[in-house]
Structure 1
Amino acid sequence: MAEKLKGPCPYSTANWLSRFIYWWIFPLFRYGFRHPLTQDILYDVLPEDQSHLLGDRMEKSWNDHVKKCEKKGKKPSLYWAVIAEFKWEWGINGIFLVVSVPRDQMRIEWDAFMKPEVSIILPQGTKGIFSVLIITLLHK
């Protein structure tokens, strides 16, 4: 099984449905459940995700951002340079993530993580507009 995981990353040849439901990575999850994962077992990095290419993209984005900030007389921000460079990739992936997470999973996460925090923030017996909105969206 470990030999099947070596080599090119299957993401590059996966169809849209496999990418959408993350089926392309299932063999790695199955192997990792039973065995410890080491770097020599993992798939090769996709060519577009290699660090030297991402570093070059980020350097160009940073230089462009610095020039734009100098013209406006503002202080450059690494945060906005990263957003400017990766906004489309992250935005599309974020949309897929929101669409692919089932509503029941969101309810589980709400009950486990957000409900205790909201109860700390809000006084007993009151509901803020945020919690009413979230409960309404997650209610069946």
Structure 2
Amino acid sequence: MPLLYPKVKPNPLQKANLCSRLFFWWLNPLFKIGHKRKLEANDMYSVLPEDRSQHLGEELQGYWDQEVLRAQKDAREPSLMKTIVKCYGKSYLVLGMLTFLEICEEFL
């Protein structure tokens, strides 16, 4: 009987140094496999602990609980949009600024 969740490779990003992280060198082995043949499910790396749905869901739940309390205090409906922006807005803002700089560089 095949395994429901086959053993996956550990994610090399966990042990990658700063240079490797900046230039995505930790992905080179996966790129080499992908260049030779189509990637399969067992070629993929495991998900980082901070990117697991359990962790992200608990983080979002905490922000949602805070939003519900604030909404009750202010006698208004809680806003899922505000919750998502508070939870994930900072990381997307940084990525957005980097993308903006890249686009500006193309014009110059």
TM-score by length of 2: 0.71
Residue 77 of structure 1 and its aligned partner are, at CA, apart by 2.2
- Shift in CA distance, 13/47, structure 1 to aligned 2, threshold 3 Å: same
> Which residue of structure 2 aligns with residue 77 of structure 1?
79
Code of the residue aligned with 1:9 in structure 2: it is N
SS at match of 1:75: coil
> Which residue of structure 1 aligns with residue 5 of structure 2?
none
> Which residue of structure 1 aligns with residue 21 of structure 2?
19
> Which residue of structure 1 aligns with residue 90 of structure 2?
88
Asked if the contact 2:9–2:43 (Cα under 8 Å) also holds between the matched residues in 1, the reply is: no
Q: How many residue pairs were aligned?
A: 101
- Shift in CA distance, 18/96, structure 1 to aligned 2, threshold 3 Å: farther
- Structure 1 window deviating more from structure 2 (22-31 vs 45-54): it is 22-31
1:36 aligns with 2:38: yes
CA distance in 2, matches of 1:21, 1:56: 31
> Which residue of structure 1 aligns with residue 64 of structure 2?
62
1:53 aligns with 2:55: yes
Asked if the contact 1:62–1:81 (Cα under 8 Å) also holds between the matched residues in 2, the reply is: yes
RMSD: 2.6
Asked if the contact 1:20–1:96 (Cα under 8 Å) also holds between the matched residues in 2, the reply is: no
SS at match of 1:36: coil
Residue 97 of structure 1 and its aligned partner are, at CA, apart by 5.3
CA distance in 2, matches of 1:78, 1:20: 33
Q: Which runs of 5+ in 2 are unaligned?
A: 1-7
Larger radius of gyration: 1
Residue 94 of structure 1 and its aligned partner are, at CA, apart by 4.4
Code of the residue aligned with 1:81 in structure 2: it is T
- Shift in CA distance, 83/102, structure 1 to aligned 2, threshold 3 Å: closer
